[in-house]
């Protein structure tokens, strides 16, 4: 019995010490929880607001497309295409995304450059892209952070297909 009461006193003291050593009393923890919920709510509201205020798709500087294909640029474009695009696009057949061959007959160079460089914005704002997403079972193109020069070389590669 003595041992049981000693154990009870020890547990009581241990609980009291752990509460006393805590820097925050119990009541503020509840308000801290409410504060966290308010922060999450504010963050969610900010995300929704940023979605409604989407960035505009930047204009593409003038693209110089000569009558002859720049073979060096096309080769560089083939390399970028192979490294960053072939997981979803094949040169001459539909796959997860549309085939690259003939794309310049279906789309303008400006549109292609925007799609290559800003796929996330195009998916939000361009009705053609939204229809393509439906057509290709909801597959969306990830933003690969492709530079203007890389996109332009991919465009030149498309001319060879």
Q: What is the pLDDT of residues 77-102, one digit of tens each?
A: 999 999 999 998 998 888 998 989 99
Query: Kindly report the CA angle at 56 between 51 and 57, in degrees rounded to 5?
Result: 120
Structure confidence at residue 64 as a pLDDT band (50, 70, 90): confident
Give the pLDDT of residue 53: 54
Average pLDDT on 24-50 reads: 51
| Number of domains the chain is built from | 1
Q: What pTM did the predictor assign?
A: 0.63
% of residues, the chain, pLDDT over 70: 66
Note whether residue 127 is domain-resident: yes
> Within a 10 A sphere around the Cβ of 123, how many other Cβ atoms?
16
Note whether residue 91 is domain-resident: yes
Burial (0-12, 13-18, 19+ Cβ within 10 Å), 138: exposed
% of residues, the chain, pLDDT over 90: 49
* Integer Cα distance of 79 and 72 in angstroms: 11
* Integer Cα distance of 40 and 131 in angstroms: 34
* Integer Cα distance of 158 and 20 in angstroms: 71
Note whether residue 80 is domain-resident: yes
Domain range for 118? 71-160
* Integer Cα distance of 134 and 136 in angstroms: 5
CATH of the domain at 102: 1.10.760.10
Note whether residue 57 is domain-resident: no
């Amino acid at each position: 019995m003595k041992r049981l009461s000693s154990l009870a006193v020890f547990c009581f003291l241990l609980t009291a010490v752990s509460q006393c050593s805590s820097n925050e009393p119990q009541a503020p923890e509840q308000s801290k929880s409410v504060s966290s919920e308010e922060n999450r709510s504010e963050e969610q509201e900010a995300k929704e607001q940023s979605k409604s205020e989407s960035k505009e798709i930047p204009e593409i500087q003038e693209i110089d497309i000569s009558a002859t294909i720049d073979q060096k640029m096309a080769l560089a474009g083939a390399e970028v295409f192979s490294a960053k695009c072939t997981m979803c696009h094949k040169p001459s057949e539909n796959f997860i995304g549309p085939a690259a061959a003939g794309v310049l007959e279906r789309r303008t160079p400006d549109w292609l450059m925007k799609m290559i460089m800003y796929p996330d914005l195009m998916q939000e704002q361009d009705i053609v892209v939204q229809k393509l997403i439906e057509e290709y079972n909801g597959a969306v193109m990830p933003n690969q952070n492709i530079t203007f020069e890389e996109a332009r070389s991919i465009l030149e590669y498309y001319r060879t297909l």
